[in-house]
Structure formats: C-alpha cells, structure tokens
Structure 1
Amino acid sequence: MDPNSWALYEEALRYDKVGDVYTAVKLLKKVTRLSPDWPEGYVALGHIYHQRREWKPAFHYWKKSVALDADDREAWWHLGLAATGLGRMRVAATVWNKFGFEKTDLSQPLSLEVKGAEGYEILWMQPLDAARGRILSIPHPGSNLRYRDLMLYNRRLQAGTNVIGARRIAVFPSLDRLKRSPYQTFSCLLHTSSAKSIAQLESLCFEAGLGFEIWSNASHATRLQKSKASDSEKDAFPEYYNDLVPRPDHGTALVAIAAIHPAEVERTLNDWQIISLAGYSDLRGY
C-alpha cells in the first residue's frame, strides 16, 4: 500500500463525516489510484454512494471491493442491494444464495420503516426476496408512497420491532422505491364504528381488487432523539405499537382506500352504503 494512502483515507472519512461528500469522494478516488489493491478505499466509496442511493457507482465500488476481499460479507450484502437497485437480479440472486437466503420463509409479511419529515411510518410489506418487498399498507400521502409500491429494503439491518398484540415483528428500513404503483390513495370518514360494517367495506374492497386500511389505528410513531434518550434506550430496538394515531370522534372511522381509478372507490362505497345502511363523507384523493 502506498504510504500516503492511509492519511488520505482518514482525511476523506473526516470530510464525509462533516458532510463534504465531494471532497471525500475526490480523496477516496485518489486513494484507489495510489493503492488499487487495497479494498478499504472502494468500501468507503461504496458506502457513500449507498447512502446517496446512487446504485450504479455503488455497484461498481462494491464489486471492486469483493474482488479484492472475497471474505467481506458486508461488502457482498451491499453489492446485492446495489444490484437490486439497478435491476441486475441475476447478480443479486447470486449474492443472496451466498447467504443461504433461498431457504428463508417469505410467506409472512414484514414491517417497513419509512422516514418522514416529522417521524416514522410503519407499513406492512410482503417480502419478495432478500431486498425487495411490495407495500401492503396504504401509506400516508405525505410519504409520496403508494399501496403496492415495489420497495428496496435492508433485511440485514433491523430498525425496530412492531408490536401487534403479543406478537413482535421485525421492522426493516426502507432504502428506495424501485417501481411506483399505479394505485392512488383516497380517504373518507365512515359514519359508523361498527366492526361488522367496517369489515363489510373491507370485504368489498378485497373483491374489487382495492387496497383498504383503517387509518384511525394505523401505526405511526416518532422515535426518541438520541440526545434525550437514556443509555438503555439508545441500545435497544425501538418498539412501535398500533393505535398511536388519535381516533376520530366516537361513532366514526377514518379509512383509506387504494384504487387505480376514482370511480372504483365511489362504486364500492355506494355498494357498501346499500349493504351496511351506513353513510360516509369527506371523500378525498391525494
């Protein structure tokens, strides 16, 4: 290794830490030119482009790093994520097979953590493989996500635990949206809180191929700031509980429906009114 490489490498990490990504990348590229057989420079570049969700350069540098150090499991995993982000699924499948992922049960939904401006939203997701999942919830419109969006997530990094009754389900961080769903988001206020009436609407939505969710008790949460958390809270996984969103007035329920066309929502709600003898108001699209 060139004697100047280590000093340049540490300087690059300092620049990256304070947010000067341009200078950090410039120095790290110099490191890779001076010491082309040293993997750490490529690893650091891979991390920077991973954080920026720039999958093409991330793929390039993770591929370089595993070529130099085939035992670096973390680099292999990041290579799989970058390959998935680029749609290079053959490469990704090769990586997941190295981790024995073909034996993993994908039948059970997982929880996905989506960061927003004011906190975190916890969504249900159906995993498709080690890094892709399809959103099953109807996300809050402010997240710019939709029902059945195809998402890239990091299964190797658990972000917390979603507590549903007595069950604890792992929460994984969202990395990127791979494909936007054609479904639009709608919401309305049902003039009933009857479980039977709400279940009837859910059944009608299912039969029509629409998404349905009771937003009155969706899982939204804000995590503690680290500076305000105790030492034990910093080390533990945060736990998210249902029923964190205030319910509307007694006797009503706020629901969300996902549909490709608004007419599908109106037709389903009209059918529901006939069956349930209940009403709704404040139908809106986002």
Structure 2
Amino acid sequence: MPSVSSTPPDADALFDAALAASEAGDRAGAVAHYRTLLALEPERKHAWYNLGLQLKYLGQWDESLRANQRALELAPENNEAAIWNAAIAATALRDWTTARAMWQRYGIQLQGPVEGEIEDNFGVTPVRLNPDGQGEVVWSRRIDPARARLLNVPLPESGYRFKDIVLHDGAPAGYRKDGDRDVPVFNVLELFQPGPFGTFEVMLDVPTEEAMQAFQDAADRDGMYAEDWTASYQTICKACSEGRPHDHEHQPDDEAAEWQPERRVGLAATSRAQVERLLAHALPPGVEVIEWTTALEPRAS
C-alpha cells in the first residue's frame, strides 16, 4: 500500500495569507500565518517585521519587541520602521534602556537624564483615541516619540481623561492645523499611565463668551480644567478626520455662529467635592448651573 504524505505548506502562500488576514482586520489570523511561515523560513526578515507589526496592534509587547529585534538582526540597515516599532514596544514594557537605545539608533536625540523613564518636550500634536471605534481626536503634548499627555478633556464615552498619558503609534493618520503648520495625528495604542482627574459634565447657562472665560479661569484657579465642549467639538467625516479637514468644508449651522447661552462643559477635577465647591461658591456673575453629573470618576491613586 503506497504511503500518504501531506504537502508541506508553501511559505509564499502563507505570506500572502497573512497579508490578506491583516487587510481583513484579522490580526490574530495574520500572526498565526506568520508564525507558521517563520517555522519554515526563520530567516525571512519581512515576515519578522510584519509579525512584530501585528503584535504591536494586538498589544503583545514582549513578542512584538522580540520580532522587531529579530528583523533588525536580519536587516540592520535601512530598517527604520522596525527600529521605531521596537522602541514603541520597549516603551510599553517600561524597558527604558532598550527604548533609549532604539530612539538613538533611529537618530533621535533625547534631552535630560541619560537613563530611566523619558520625559522630554516634543511639542503638541493631536492624537486619535479609540481609532477602531469613535475615533475622537484631541490635542496632547508629546513627552517622548511614542507617548503624549492629553491636553483636552475627552468626551466621557472615550474612557480617557484629562492629563492621561497615552502610548501612540508613529505613522501619521491624518493632519490638523497648529497655527500655519500641518501637524500629524497619531493613533493611540493604549493608555500608558492614568492621570489623577475625573470627568464631570456640566450644563451651564452662560450669557456671554466673556462669562465663559471667567468660569474657565475660576476652574483653573482651583486646580481644575474646564473645556467648553459646545465650542471645541465638531463632528467631521472619516475621510477628513484621517486626511486634512481644512481641505474639505464642514460649514457650521448659521445658528451656531451666534453665541448660544446653554453650554455643555467638560470639567476635569480630582474629586466631586472640588466640583461642588466651584459650582456653589465660585460661579462668575450671570453664570447659572442647569445640571451636572459625574461622567468618569477620578481614578484611585
């Protein structure tokens, strides 16, 4: 009786299957294909890089770092993407020695201490929270090439809070204007370090813009941050959010051009008592509270 032998998997077919799975959003399937391929051809550098990329999006940081390091061993020159992704993975793991080495290898000069956690000033940039979901874009200050501290009060449904530190990707996913400059939007990969603030939603009757500014100043004096969501948030189409919104007109309603006294305000505070004091004792003349609620509790320290 003739023996029956199975046909070994074809490496090129596995590579194509991995790419197709990635295109379809099946990152776990892509990882499985790349692992099978690399068991057959362990020297395939592009597969190692692609495996590290998929593991990055899955938040599997140990394996992502190892995959990118292997890609760099096989192709040490002209492999900037693997260097950057290795640095992101090392940052997620709090492996500051490796992260610093990778940023230096990429050509980025870090200021301040030469070891330990990085806290620098890489300027302001917008980041996209929950890029696979609602995709809210807020402004942040980058403290290293892959982390940023949020400067807006995000909407409660995002799950993020004012001053949270987020880990973000390095590939631009759209642009926004900062003065005359186009600045890239980076997709957030995960919450890196929670900030001390909760989010409180306050509905106010505010007679003028000057009164709104006075309320924001009062919040600031008490260690809070008040954002006029009525003025600062705009819904735009996906194409514009991931491109350049200023190249596509999103005209406001005529009514929105006039001051609307009813304002939805996001208030960042470290306790409910702090909000109660502000609303009970520090309201500017003419400003009245319609209602308010705790939208996201402050995180326990």
**TM tier, shorter chain?**
0.7 to 0.9
Gaps of 5+ in 2: 1-7, 112-119, 296-301
Q: Matches of residues 268-283 of structure 1 in structure 2 within 5 Å? A: 268-273=278-283, 275-283=284-292
- Which amino acid in structure 1 is aligned with residue 72 of structure 2? V
Q: Out of 185, 194, 197, which is 1:180 matched to?
A: 194
Query: Residue 163 of structure 2 corresponds to which residue in structure 1?
Result: 148
Percentage of matched positions with identical amino acids: 22
Aligned CA-pair RMSD? 3.2
Shifted more, 209-218 versus 28-37: the winner is 28-37
Aligned-residue offset at 1:167: 5.5
Q: Matches of residues 36-185 of structure 1 in structure 2 within 5 Å? A: 36-71=42-77, 72-102=79-109, 106=121, 108-115=123-130, 119-154=134-169, 156-163=170-177, 168-185=182-199
CA distance in 1, matches of 2:252, 2:104: 39
Query: Residue 229 of structure 2 corresponds to which residue in structure 1?
Result: 215
Aligned-residue offset at 1:237: 2.4
Shifted more, 109-118 versus 53-62: the winner is 109-118
**What whole-Å deviation, never above 9, does each CA across 1:74-129 have from its counterpart, x for those lacking one?**
11111111111222122112212223322699363211122467743221101101
Aligned-residue offset at 1:149: 0.9
Gaps of 5+ in 1: 226-232
- Which amino acid in structure 1 is aligned with residue 88 of structure 2? L
Aligned-residue offset at 1:249: 8.1
Residue 267 (1) aligns with residue 265 (2) = no
Aligned-residue offset at 1:259: 1.0
Aligned-residue offset at 1:39: 1.2
**What whole-Å deviation, never above 9, does each CA across 1:159-206 have from its counterpart, x for those lacking one?**
222236755443222221112223111121221142222222222222
**What whole-Å deviation, never above 9, does each CA across 1:52-72 have from its counterpart, x for those lacking one?**
222222112111111211121
CA 263–20 in structure 1, closer or farther in 2 if over 3 Å, else same: closer
CA 152–117 in structure 1, closer or farther in 2 if over 3 Å, else same: closer
CA distance in 1, matches of 2:52, 2:125: 27
Q: Is the 8 A contact 1:193 1:253 kept in 2?
A: no
Q: Is the 8 A contact 2:208 2:259 kept in 1?
A: no
Task: State TM-score, norm by structure 1.
Answer: 0.83
